Amino acid sequence: MSFNLKLAGAVAGVAILVSSVAAQAEVLFWSTQAKPVEEAQAMREQVLAGAGDVDYQPNDGGPWLTRLNAELQAGSGAIGVLGALHGDFSAMNPDDLVDLEGMMSGSDTFNSLAKLGTDNMQYVPWMQASYIMAANKEALQYLPDGADIDALTYDQLIEWAGNVMEATGEAKFGFPAGPKGLKHRFFQGYLYPSYTDGVVRTFASDDAVVAWEKMRELWAVTNPASTNFSFLQEQLLSGDAWIVFDHTSRVAQAFNERPDDFVAFPAPAGPKGRGFMPVLAGVAIPRTAPDMDAAKALVAHMLKPETQIATLRATNFFPVVDVDLPGDLPPAVQAAGDAVAKMSGAADANPGLLPAGLGDKGGEFSQLYTETFERIVLAGQDIRTVLDDHKPRLQAIMDASGAPCWAPDAASDGPCPVE
Amino acid sequence: MTTVATDTPMTDPRKAGRYVYAAGVFLLCAWVIVPLYFLLINTLSSPEAVNAFPKSFVPEFDLGSLTFFAGFAGMLTALKNSILVAVLTMILSIAVGAPAGYALSRFDFRGKEVFRMLILLTRAFPLPLLALPLAVMFIRTGLDDTIFGLALVHTTLAMPFAVLITFSLFSGIPLELEEAAWTLGCTRLTAFTKVVLPLILPGITASAIFAFVISWNEVFAAAVLTIENRTLTAFLLTNLDTSPLHLKFAGGFILVVPALIFIFAVRKYLFAMWGIANR
């Protein structure tokens, strides 16, 4: 009977499949970074070429964490090395990560972040990036009189975007307010520091009200489709946005495809300086790694200067160790590197740090800023009411995590207070 | 398809009805075909053309995006895994679902209604919720990272469709047909395979297609439960959302085509179920 045959075939197939689970000698590199297919390809072919047998698997945050937790719970697993953002690691239990001695980056700030509040390195800084502004060169003619593109203020940016809107009839400022956009980082690392010289302490201050008023003014000249933008390189290339704010690696494609059409420049400044914020990714080893020596060798490989340069080419993330950058870097790297250098070297620079010590409250923390944006700017609710509404929630997050203040907030004893 | 052969003069309302019908058919076809066509055009376009507007309606046959995927490590293995998992899911869900559907339609037993509800419950829990305990269990039992293990999960997802579709199919076939077969010397089994099975084959195909598509489209469990043996969806889809536009189109095209080929291959069985008998 054909049905019986099918059944028999299925059973036989199952038996073969079950018995064909092969032993694995590769190191599994389980990463949330370098996820776009081109970057993943470059990671495999260039960055990891000299690192022995490595299986580089980039993933969404959800499956990444679920798989990792499953292996930790089961007490054994396949993952050799983890690659993720500082925020991903800080949400984990430090006991689940192997202490990494003798490996560190060239930045003390990053190294102390990587200890996750313990005495040992829980992950090793791997690469860094930041957020910058980028513009289509066609927009430059509408710059307000006397404005220097490398030293813009928020008022000038709003005026500039307004000029473009007047001239073209379309709002051409692009803001990553889409579902996967990194808008919360703009509020935490750029808007708040520039206007209030803080992030947590000053969350509901009078300065913050001014900041959100400016955000409303900026939104009035922003392409309303921005609530759907997550990677502004797409809108730069398609012409839907002429002036944008985004992560360096999320505008990279625009510079690499049409290097002569776009300029990169520092984020604008507010009354309290030019706020900006780094992005830090790291590599770590989970305690369930099947081959600890091979995993440690891979982590060491990631920190070699030549690997760091290959990583820069592959991902547009910058080195965290001291290296001499070669002259033939892709246009996106040169443009972003220049903009970041101008931003951090500016006289009014007000560098912030990544939110630290929030543990598994990190997601909630960012969500609060996103909600504040949605209520004030998108829904048009009263700024003071919304800030006062959210203030106790922010304090609860800080109290629950016990996180002390980080720059640019003034240091605190105990959990950072919301003033 | 149905073409009206008679050419009798018609009254106005009937004519209007025909226009509405034709417009409806046209709209439904366009609904499916236009996005697929745009997918094809953009797959065969250079990155510049993909980002340009307005779009051209003629592909320029730039194979750059597809060539990129041809060189993408592990694509073919992932494609093979996807097909294996989907076929296995299909076989398992029919092998388990069809008997359940038969039992539901032919026998009365206590808790029958509850059972029908419980079947649906396998779809009531989101996979991200189930994936963690499943993955822990799979790692402990050795099912982890196997095609069979993933097929088991997908079978669970496809089961409600398999059971409920076959249940309604069996219910549509009169018991008398089977009884007649019994009186003519068939056993219960041969009556089933010789009389009932040919009648419900189209329906079985339909639920097989459901199972195939469910397995083909499922990402989360596949991304968590497989490492070396990734399926194409887990391999590509999780990375596509952050990729440049032209690669999104090419990747989407690659994901869609095998499923389309499969559905075309089995469509005659499906049409037979809807009473369009020209195989």
- Same domain for B28 and B151, yes or no, is no
Residues of chain B found within 8 Å of residue A77, distances taken between Cβ atoms: 139
Chain A: nearest CA to B73, how far in angstroms? 7
- Same domain for B82 and B51, yes or no, is no
Strand partners, A173: A222, A243
User: Could you tell me which of A239, A216, A240 has the C-alpha nearest to residue A154?
Assistant: A216
Chain A: nearest CA to B49, how far in angstroms? 10
Instruction: Catalogue all structural domains in chain A, each as residue range(s) with its CATH number.
Output: 24-128+279-328 (3.40.190.10), 130-278+350-401 (3.40.190.10)
Q: Is B47 on the interface with A (CB under 8 A)?
A: yes
Best residue in B68, B84, B129, B139 for a mutation probing chain A (most A CBs within 10 Å): B139
- Whether residue B162 is contained in a domain is answered as yes
How sure is the predictor about A343, in pLDDT bands with cuts at 50, 70 and 90? confident
pLDDT(B41) > 60: yes
- Same domain for B58 and B35, yes or no, is yes
Model pLDDT, residue B107: 87
- Whether residue B241 is contained in a domain is answered as yes
Q: What is the mean pLDDT of chain A?
A: 88
How sure is the predictor about A287, in pLDDT bands with cuts at 50, 70 and 90? very high
Best residue in A60, A64, A182 for a mutation probing chain B (most B CBs within 10 Å): A60
Rounded percentage of chain B residues whose pLDDT exceeds 70: 92
Range of the domain at B50: 12-66
Pull the structure tokens for residue A203.
């969350």
- Same domain for B57 and B79, yes or no, is no
- Whether residue B6 is contained in a domain is answered as no
pLDDT(B5) > 60: no
Q: Is B197 on the interface with A (CB under 8 A)?
A: yes
Q: Which residue of B has its CA nearest to A258?
A: B48
Which of B63-67, B72-76, B130-134 comes out lowest in average pLDDT?
Answer: B72-76
Chain B: nearest CA to A50, how far in angstroms? 16
| Angle (CA) B110 B116 B117, round 5° | 110
- Same domain for B127 and B147, yes or no, is yes
Which of A205-219, A310-324, A387-401 comes out lowest in average pLDDT?
Answer: A310-324
d(CA A175, CA A182): 9
Torsions phi, psi for A136 (to 5 deg): -70, 135
Mean pLDDT of B28-53: 86
Nearest by CB to A37, from B48, B135, B239: name it.
Answer: B239
Residues of chain A found within 8 Å of residue B243, distances taken between Cβ atoms: 36-38
pLDDT(A284) > 80: yes
pLDDT(A47) > 80: yes
pLDDT(A246) > 90: yes
User: Could you tell me which of A332, A189, A353 has the C-alpha nearest to residue A273?
Assistant: A189
Last-in-domain residue among B30, B47, B66? B66
Mean pLDDT of B14-20: 89
Please give the residue that has the higher pLDDT: either A9 or A352.
A352
pLDDT(B173) > 90: no
Q: Which residues have C-beta within 8 Å of that of residue A306, sequence separation ≥ 6?
A: none
Model pLDDT, residue B106: 87
- Whether residue B205 is contained in a domain is answered as yes
CB-based burial, A17-29: b 16+ in 10 Å, e otherwise: beeebeebebbbb
pLDDT(A104) > 50: yes
Q: Is B239 on the interface with A (CB under 8 A)?
A: yes
Last-in-domain residue among B66, B88, B107? B66
- Same domain for B159 and B242, yes or no, is yes
Model pLDDT, residue A198: 92
Model pLDDT, residue B258: 85
Which of A151-155, A297-301, B135-139, B195-199 comes out lowest in average pLDDT?
Answer: B195-199
Cross-chain residue pair A37–B240, CB shorter than 8 Å: yes
- Whether residue B38 is contained in a domain is answered as yes
- Same domain for B31 and B116, yes or no, is no
Cross-chain residue pair A3–B193, CB shorter than 8 Å: yes
d(CA A206, CA A264): 32
Cα atoms in the 13 Å half-sphere on the side-chain side of A197: 7
Run of H or E residues at A351: strand A349-351
Torsions phi, psi for A132 (to 5 deg): -135, 175
Pull the structure tokens for residue A359.
């543990």
Mean pLDDT of A384-392: 95
- Whether residue B44 is contained in a domain is answered as yes
Sign of CA dihedral A164, A165, A169, A172: positive
Run of H or E residues at B2: none
Nearest by CB to A14, from B148, B236, B240: name it.
Answer: B148
User: What pLDDT, in 10s, does the model give residues A69-94?
Assistant: 999 999 988 999 999 998 888 888 88
pLDDT(A24) > 50: no
Pull the structure tokens for residue A302.
């990631």
Residues of chain B found within 8 Å of residue A59, distances taken between Cβ atoms: 223, 238
Q: Which residue of B has its CA nearest to A55?
A: B228
Radius of gyration for chain A, computed over Cα atoms and rounded to the nearest angstrom: 23
Relative to beta strand A27-31, strand A243-247 is: unpaired
Model pLDDT, residue B244: 81
- Same domain for B82 and B145, yes or no, is yes
Nearest by CB to B241, from A74, A77, A180: name it.
Answer: A180
**pTM summary value:** 0.80
- Same domain for B145 and B255, yes or no, is yes
Pull the structure tokens for residue A397.
């997050």
Model pLDDT, residue B204: 86
- Same domain for B24 and B142, yes or no, is no
Residues of chain B found within 8 Å of residue A66, distances taken between Cβ atoms: 128, 131-132, 135, 224
State how many domains chain B has. 2
Model pLDDT, residue A270: 94
Domain CATH for B241: 1.10.3720.10
Residues of chain A found within 8 Å of residue B238, distances taken between Cβ atoms: 35, 58-60, 63
Residues of chain B found within 8 Å of residue A234, distances taken between Cβ atoms: 51, 244-245
- Same domain for B188 and B239, yes or no, is yes
Q: Is B68 on the interface with A (CB under 8 A)?
A: yes
Mean pLDDT of B241-260: 85
Q: Which residue of B has its CA nearest to A15?
A: B148
Residue numbers of B between 6 and 45 with CB closer than 8 Å to A: none
User: What pLDDT, in 10s, does the model give residues B121-167?
Assistant: 878 888 888 888 989 999 999 888 899 999 999 999 999 888 988 88
- Whether residue B245 is contained in a domain is answered as yes
Nearest by CB to A3, from B48, B53, B197: name it.
Answer: B197
Cross-chain residue pair A63–B220, CB shorter than 8 Å: yes
CB A282, CB A80: distance < 8 Å: no
pLDDT(B74) > 80: no
User: What pLDDT, in 10s, does the model give residues B189-228?
Assistant: 898 888 888 888 888 888 888 899 899 988 888 988 988 8
Model pLDDT, residue A216: 95
Model pLDDT, residue B276: 44
pLDDT(B8) > 60: no
Relative to beta strand A79-85, strand A278-284 is: antiparallel
- Whether residue B1 is contained in a domain is answered as no
d(CA A355, CA A159): 31
Q: Is B136 on the interface with A (CB under 8 A)?
A: yes
- Same domain for B33 and B154, yes or no, is no
Model pLDDT, residue B237: 78
Q: Which residue of A has its CA nearest to B92?
A: A10
Mean pLDDT of A56-62: 87
Residues of chain A found within 8 Å of residue B239, distances taken between Cβ atoms: 35-37, 40, 58
Q: Which residue of A has its CA nearest to B147?
A: A17
Q: Is B240 on the interface with A (CB under 8 A)?
A: yes
Model pLDDT, residue A68: 93
pLDDT(B248) > 50: yes
Q: Is B152 on the interface with A (CB under 8 A)?
A: no
Cross-chain residue pair B224–A63, CB shorter than 8 Å: yes
Q: Which residues have C-beta within 8 Å of that of residue A297, sequence separation ≥ 6?
A: A51, A52
pLDDT(A110) > 60: yes
Nearest by CB to B244, from A17, A77, A253: name it.
Answer: A253
Last-in-domain residue among B28, B50, B66? B66
Pull the structure tokens for residue B242.
């952050």
Q: What is the amino acid identity at position B154?
A: H
Cross-chain residue pair A44–B73, CB shorter than 8 Å: yes
